Amino acid sequence: MAVGLSVFLGDLGASLAQTIESITVTARKKDESFIDVPVSLQVFSKLDINRYKASSLTEIAEMANQVMLMPAGSGAGAAFVVRGISSSTLDPGLNTSVSIDIDGMQISRGRIVREAMFDIESIEILKGPQALFFGKNNSAGVVSINSAGPGTEWEFIAKVFYEFEADEFIGEAIISGPINDKVGIRLAYQGSTAQGWMKNVSGPIENTFPSLALEPFDFPGAFNDRKGDYSQHIARLTLQLDPSDAFTATFKIMGSSMNMNGTQLTEVLHCLGDFPVTNGLVDPTGDCIINGVQSQGAIPQEIRENFDGLEDRPNGDGFASYDSLLATLDMSYTWNNYVLSSITGVHAYDWFRWDNFDGTTFNQLEGIQDETSTVFSQEVRLHSTYDNPFNFMFGMFYERIDRDSDNQGKIAAVGVNPDNGFSNNWAGFSTVKGKVFSVFGQLIWDVTEDLELAAGARWSKVEKSMFEGILYSHPLLAGLFLEPGQLIEADFDDNNVSPEATITWHVRDNFTVYGAYKSGYKAGGFSTQTIINSGTTPESVVYQEEKAKGGEIGFKSTLMDNRMRLNGTIYYYNFDGIQDSVFNAAIVNFSIINADARAKGFDLDMNFAATDRLMLRAQVGYNEAKYRSFTNAPCYGLQTVEEGCHVNETGLGGPGFVQDLTGRTRLLAPKWSGSVGASYDAPISNDISFGLSGELIFTDSYGTQAALNPVAFQGSTVKINVAVRVYSDDDRWEVALIGRNLTNELMIANSADKPGNAGDVFGQILRGRQIGIEAIFRY
């Protein structure tokens, strides 16, 4: 036993030969050493990604400091947050302030959070504004994801993973290699399914309520006692052509199809009474705490059968589907002292969602959103590679956007529509079209061998148009909605110049100090909420652009004979016009308003090869993201005058009652965050090794809604991830036991005042504990 323990632990001081591997990044859209780039970023290899089976954007973000990528049940689909800066999740008309760049295609729609992330080579998370090198909508940051490409030898990889808490199965198959010396191919597929991780305890209830006389149907409860079940298929084909030393081309196409029983992974966080209430109906099966249990009833069959858009649904439970296609063509041609590159991208998706939005077993507030989107983009850039002090980069970017959204909903028990027999209260539609054109350039001056000055700017021209309206509404609610046949039409045109300047000093080969002035821009647009009411005007649906400017000072280093990587950044940025969505009680609708904020703080990260077997990791960040001006912020439910709620006397944006949140910390902006971790590997025989990894992740408390309701704050959390693996030294096979969030922290991604009862609050909950087994085979 003593011998076995000695083999397991090894001699921690026996060898210091292991070094930190060098990292190549593309933060400036060309291959550069990590230490040379004047950008605050964190880079994660496929080893980092696979350590704890990170297979979604939410799990990937957990590896980085001051970053959250979280799904939302409705609206924009997700909250992508860097350093406490993000756009609201409540309105589907909003793009994200953090772009997701997949193989060179920029995506600013939150729906992308629904796609599995698999067969990834590396991830670069760029923090702060990134307007110069990444086309648009990057006022807070960029998450750049690079999928794996063909290798120089043929390989076949098979992976199977089973997670016990959600009864989740993930299978993956990859075949890759060279067709000949000029063409390579890689085909990767992942299929996954889960029974669900959240319990749904909603049970059948007899309808004895006089207030529902027009709809005297019993409530069936939930047809599925688990929530979070899904099935997904996703495949990617990569073709890499290298016909000559001067020209390369890589084509990638990925298709994804997902179905799940709704997106409302919500719990009621706080109740005015002992149980959740909707329209005066008290839910006896619901509770008012975060415990991984919800009470979400299905819609009665009599209503479902006549609900426009639900005719083919087998039952009344929530349902969502997401089908997407992403294709990119990346080409590069080198001649003399120039490199000409082109990236063409197409991203299209079809999103359908039906859900219960009242948070109780009674299902009195339900709706459908059917959204299709197509984005085409083309970027061309030229940069010089002269062996002299001066070089340049110049490029152009074009994007075309087409998005249609149809919606049907029900907010009142008024019976079927006598005009058409439908049980839903209304049906609406919206269409948004847009074009973006930009020109950008940068001059680089190597003042000395160790000192670089660079300056550039991006000029953007944005044109958008929209129209929306109501197809029909119930006669008893006709005064609430826009008159059928009446169109709301609006245009948005804008120009912007976003400059950037950096200074980089290579103090030594392994130590770099840099300073940067940066700016960012996200265009304005249109609110496309599902309830288009009679008070809607073209002016009320337009929101303005979001801008950022500020700077950072940082350092990057490899120390102790290349065994330690240590990086740090201090930053200060002002944000003008952050796009927040609020509920306007005066016209029973959501609207988008702009607020001003400031983010300042620092972050540090370290990787240390303590021995040839032991790797240590640590990161810490402090961030103050506060409103500089937000005088027309919404009030939360039942907020009193003494608590700061007052009549909106200006009439400029926001709801009828507002509060002043100037100086308050923004939502989704924890002050402190960080993690510590270690990985230890040792042989247990001549050709088999053992690996142990652990991570402790801390996140400070944060608000979860724009109104900063004091009952809707997420407390500080500590998550623990652990992985134990046994593998062959020739990398042919591997078996691992993986635990994520072993402390079972149920974190709030976002929250809102629960419809149907003032004072109740519900929120989207992130997945809790995960424990699974993975087997990997390589040939």
- pLDDT above 50: residue 4: no
Per-residue confidence (pLDDT) for residue 755, from 0 to 100: 85
pLDDT tier, 584 (very low <50, low <70, confident <90, very high otherwise): low
**Sequence-separated (6 or more) residues with CB below 8 Å from residue 312:** none
Reduced to 3 states, what is the DSSP secondary structure of residue 477? helix
Residue 207 DSSP class? -
Q: Which helix (H) or strand (E) holds 731?
A: none
**pLDDT score for 654:** 52
Q: What is the pTM of this model?
A: 0.94
Query: What pLDDT does residue 118 have?
Result: 93
Candidates 579, 459, 460; CA nearest to 140 is 579
Q: What are the tens digits of pLDDT across the range 414-436?
A: 999 999 999 999 999 999 999 99
Structure tokens at 247: 């020209």
Q: In sequence order, which residues have a C-beta less than 8 Å from that of residue 485 and are 6 or more positions away?
A: 469
- How far apart are the two ends of the chain, measured CA to CA in Å? 34
Give me the mean pLDDT over the 227-253 stretch. Answer: 96
Least confident of 12-26, 357-371, 592-606: 12-26
- What is d(CA 486, CA 471) in angstroms, rounded to the nearest whole number? 9
Residue 145, pLDDT above cutoff 50 = yes
Average pLDDT estimate for 68-77: 86
Considering only residues 71 and 717, tell me which one the structure prediction assigns the higher pLDDT.
717
Q: What confidence score (pLDDT) does residue 88 get?
A: 85
* Tally of CB atoms within 10 A around 469: 19
Give mean pLDDT, residues 362-377: 94
Nearest to 93 by CA among 532, 637, 595: 532
Centre a 10 Å sphere on the Cβ of residue 678 and count the other Cβ atoms it contains: 16
Q: In sequence order, what E strands does 447-561 have?
A: 451-473, 487-508, 511-522, 525-526, 542-543, 546-559
Q: pLDDT value at position 589? A: 61
% of the chain beyond a pLDDT of 70: 96
pLDDT of residue 10: 41
Q: Tell me the CB-side half-sphere exposure of residue 615, using CA atoms within 13 A.
A: 20
**Arithmetic mean of pLDDT, 141-148:** 95
Under the banding of pLDDT at 50, 70 and 90, the label for residue 605 is very high
Q: Among 229-243, 271-285, 583-597, whose mean pLDDT is lowest?
A: 583-597
Tell me the average pLDDT across 26-38.
91
pLDDT value at residue 3:
36
pLDDT of 249 > 90? The answer is yes
Q: What is the pLDDT of residues 741-758, one digit of tens each?
A: 999 999 999 998 888 888
| Angle 522-525-531 from CA coordinates, rounded to 5° | 135
- Residue among 271, 273, 279, 277 at smallest CA distance from 210: 279
Report the amino acid identity of residue 436.
V
Q: Which tokens go with 230? A: 């899904």
State percent of the chain over pLDDT 90: 80
Backbone angles phi, psi at 750, to 5 degrees: -165, 160
- Does pLDDT of 17 surpass 60? no
Model confidence pLDDT, tens digit, residues 281-311? 999 999 999 999 999 999 999 999 999 998 7
| Cα–Cα distance, 146 to 500 (Å, whole number) | 25
CA 82, distance to chain mean position in Å, is 10
Calpha distance 191→338 (Å, rounded): 43
pLDDT confidence of residue 16: 46
